[in-house]
Amino acid sequence: MNTKLLTFIYVYESHSFSIAARELFVTQPTVSLRISQLEKELGTDLFRRTNRHDITPTNAGKLLYQQAIQLRQLWQTTQEEIRYADNNDHHLIRIGFSQTIAETIVTTFVKQMQQQFNHFDWNMTIDNSDRIAKLMAQKKLDIGIIEKPILTDANTVTRKEIAPDQLVRIGQSTGTWLIREPGSGIEHYTRLYLREADIMPKHTIVLNRNDIILELIQQGLGETIVSKSILPANCPYQELGPHFVRSLYLLHTNNFDKSMLNEIYPSLIKLINETYQAK
Task: Convert the pLDDT of each residue in 191-212 to its tens digit.
Answer: 999 999 999 999 999 999 999 9
Ranges 18-22, 34-38, 68-72, 113-117: which has the least confidence: 113-117
Ranges 48-57, 82-91, 94-103, 241-250: which has the least confidence: 82-91
Q: How far is it, in rounded angstroms, from Cα 122 to Cα 125?
A: 10
All structural domains of the chain: 3-85 (1.10.10.10), 91-164+246-277 (3.40.190.10), 165-245 (3.40.190.10)
Whether 29 has a pLDDT exceeding 80, the answer reads yes
Q: What is the model's pLDDT at position 232?
A: 87
Whether 278 has a pLDDT exceeding 60, the answer reads no
Q: What is the model's pLDDT at position 152?
A: 82
Q: What is the model's pLDDT at position 52?
A: 64
Of the candidates 278, 270, 255, the one whose C-alpha atom is nearest the C-alpha of residue 94 is 255
Residues 135-157 have a mean pLDDT of: 89
Residues 269-279 have a mean pLDDT of: 82
Task: Convert the pLDDT of each residue in 7-28 to its tens digit.
Answer: 999 999 998 999 999 999 999 9
| The model's pTM | 0.75
Q: What is the model's pLDDT at position 46?
A: 95
